[in-house]
Amino acid sequence: MLRCPLSRGLSKDPGNLARRLFHVGAGSFTPVLAFFLPRPWVLALAGLVALLLVIGELTRFAFPVANLTFRKWLGFLLKPGEEGRVTAATYMALATVMALILFSQEIAALGVLFLSLGDPAASVVGRRFGRWRVGAKSLEGSLAFLAVALVVAGAYYFGGRAERYWPLAVGSVVAAMVELLPLPVDDNLWVPLAAGGAMALLGA
């Protein structure tokens, strides 16, 4: 439901900065390499990262002591509520592998970069300036996501790696819309797949 204004009393979260930086760095590492390395290497790296994260999730859910240890040392990277569920990082890693399998290497990389760079921007802007909410998200945050995604698409296009900009811009819009919608599971899984699918269908 759309409502205004958004309360500025969003909960204080001391791990926010560390989590955003981790989101940007870890999430962007594999897609950036995808612009320079052969597909088998990138897919193998993405698959290894996803496998390790899945094993880590299964371990901490199966053994409470492992989860306690994880929370003690890396809990600052968790969103509120992720202590007992799959983390956004794992969903992003799985989405990266799926995008690399389904789409061309560079389209997959763009879709993941839209997420890894746009999502932290949406969080910062939404928390600081958000006034109009759609569920748990803010329109201002989603516009920030869109702006970052359009810049990423523009850098790709003006770097001479694409013949047309508009399919990339459409992919950016789709990514921002999916990030805003209250979809099941986690938007870190859906954003790269939806954006990559849109760009692939439009011949990007």
Q: Is the pLDDT of residue 111 over 60?
A: yes
Write the burial class of residue 31 (CB in 10 Å: 0-12 exposed, 13-18 middle, 19+ buried): buried
Backbone angles phi, psi at 3, to 5 degrees: -150, 155
Residue type, 131: R
Q: Is the pLDDT of residue 18 over 90?
A: no
Q: Is the pLDDT of residue 7 over 70?
A: no
pLDDT tens, position by position, 55-95: 999 999 999 999 888 888 887 777 777 777 889 899 999 99
Q: Is the pLDDT of residue 130 over 60?
A: yes
pLDDT at 81: 72
What average pLDDT does the segment 94-117 reach? 97
Write down the pTM of the prediction. 0.85
Instruction: Please say whether the beta carbons of 113 and 29 come within 8 A.
Output: no
Q: Is the pLDDT of residue 38 over 90?
A: yes
Q: pLDDT above 70 covers what percent of the chain? A: 93
Instruction: Please say whether the beta carbons of 30 and 43 come within 8 A.
Output: no
pLDDT at 11: 40
pLDDT tens, position by position, 170-186: 999 999 999 998 888 88
pLDDT at 4: 33
**Residue 1 banded pLDDT, cuts 50, 70, 90:** very low
